[in-house]
Structure 1
Amino acid sequence: MSSSLQGKNVVLCITGGIAAYKAADLTSRLRKLGAQVYIIMTESATHFITPLTLEVLSEHRVVTDMFDRTFTWEVEHISLAKRADVFVIAPATANIIGKAAHGIADDMVSTTLMATKAPMVIAPAMNTNMYENPIVQQNIALLKARGVSFVEPASGRLACGDTGKGKLADPADIAHAIEAAATPHDLEGLSVLVTAGPTREAMDPVRFISNHSTGKMGYAIAQRAQMRGAKVTLVSGPVALDAPANVSVISITSAMEMHDAVMEQLPLQDWVIKAAAVGDYRPETQADDKLKKKADEMSVALVKNPDILKEIGMQKRDDQTVCGFSMETRDLIENSRAKLEGKNCDMLVANNLKTAGAGFAHDTNVATLLYRDGSSEPLSLMQKDSLADIVLDRMLALHRKKG
Structure 2
Amino acid sequence: MKENIKKISAVLLVISCALLLITNSSSSKNVDEGTATPIKAESKEESPILIERYSEKETKDVRHKLDLLLKRINKRHDFHGAILVAKGGKIVYQNEIGYADFKNKILLNKKSVFQLASVSKQFTAAAIMLLSERNKIKLTDTVNAYFPGFPYEGVTIENLLNHTAGLPKYFWVAEHKWQQNKAPTNTEMMALLESSNVQRFYKPGRKFDYSNTNYIVLASIVEKVSGTSFSSFLKSNIFEPLQMKQSYVYSFENDSIKENQLVGYRLYRGWRHLKIRSTVNDAIVGDKNVYTTTEDLFKWTLGLNTEKLLTKKSLDLMYAKGETVYGREVPYGFGFRINSNGQKSIYHHGKWNGFSTGLTRYLEDDLVVIVLEHTSYNAIKSLNKEIKKIVTENFGI
Q: TM-score range by the shorter chain?
A: under 0.3
What TM-score results when the alignment is normalised by the length of structure 2?
Answer: 0.22
TM-score normalised by L of structure 1: 0.21
| Structure with a larger share of its residues in strand | 1
